[in-house]
Copies of this chain bind each other. A is one copy, B any other.
Amino acid sequence: MSGPPSTDSSSASGDPRRRLIEEAARILGEEGPSSLSARRLAGAAGTSTMAVYTHFGSMTGVVEAVATEGFRRLIDHVDAVGRTEDPLADLRRMAGAYRDNALENRHLFGVMFGAISLGGFHGRGADPEVAAAAFEQIVAGVARAMDAGVLLPGDPRAVAAQFWSALHGYVMLELAGMDRVVDDSERTVLWPMLAHLLAALAPSPR
């Protein structure tokens, strides 16, 4: 798939596929899932509905592309926390970035992990390669902590999966409105939970 030869005939258009994905993500974020329809999307991107079908095959294809785009943005957002000389603090800051990204793009997050549906079509999910890259981010953070000796040596993938599960579950329950039943304010639940997970793996002489 070679890109278009950059014929910027006008500033209004890039390649239509890219524009459709970005407009779909924007509509999803600003107006919610029920506003994302083929006609609405085509209108926002300045094309007709057929462009959607030549590029994505169906609205399900659009959803999968948007989910993949969501994982790419998540990766960038988490990557932006950088690396300090304290790998455990870095993990905590990665978790904070993960949560912030979810709260600011709740509908996009729902599509990424939804597995459920969006406007009726429910998609097989994002590109597994991109989703895996998001997970590898956490694996790398855990591996650095192990290398630095602040976590017991072990399989970083298994530990990262635990960390991710706990973080993801907290965020998903928060998005589902469970803060109404548990309250919290990220003080007595989120940080202690992650701290407990990491403390159980710390090389303190017991």
By a beta-carbon cutoff of 8 Å, the part of chain A in contact with chain B is: 32-34, 106-107, 110-111, 113-122, 124-125, 128, 131-132, 135, 155, 157-158, 161-162, 164-173, 175-178, 180-184, 188-190, 192-193, 195-197, 199-201, 204, 206
The interface residues of chain B lying within 8 Å CB-to-CB of A157 are 182-183
The interface residues of chain B lying within 8 Å CB-to-CB of A175 are 115
Interchain CA distance A81-B157 in the complex, whole Å: 31
Which 9 A-B residue pairs are closest in the complex by CB-CB distance? A169-B169, A196-B200, A110-B116, A162-B193, A165-B170, A168-B169, A166-B166, A165-B169, A158-B188
List 28 A-B pairs, Cβ < 8 Å. Answer: A33-B120, A34-B122, A110-B115, A110-B117, A113-B173, A114-B114, A114-B176, A125-B177, A131-B178, A135-B178, A135-B181, A135-B182, A155-B188, A157-B182, A158-B189, A161-B184, A162-B166, A162-B189, A162-B193, A165-B166, A165-B173, A166-B193, A166-B197, A168-B172, A169-B169, A193-B197, A195-B200, A196-B197
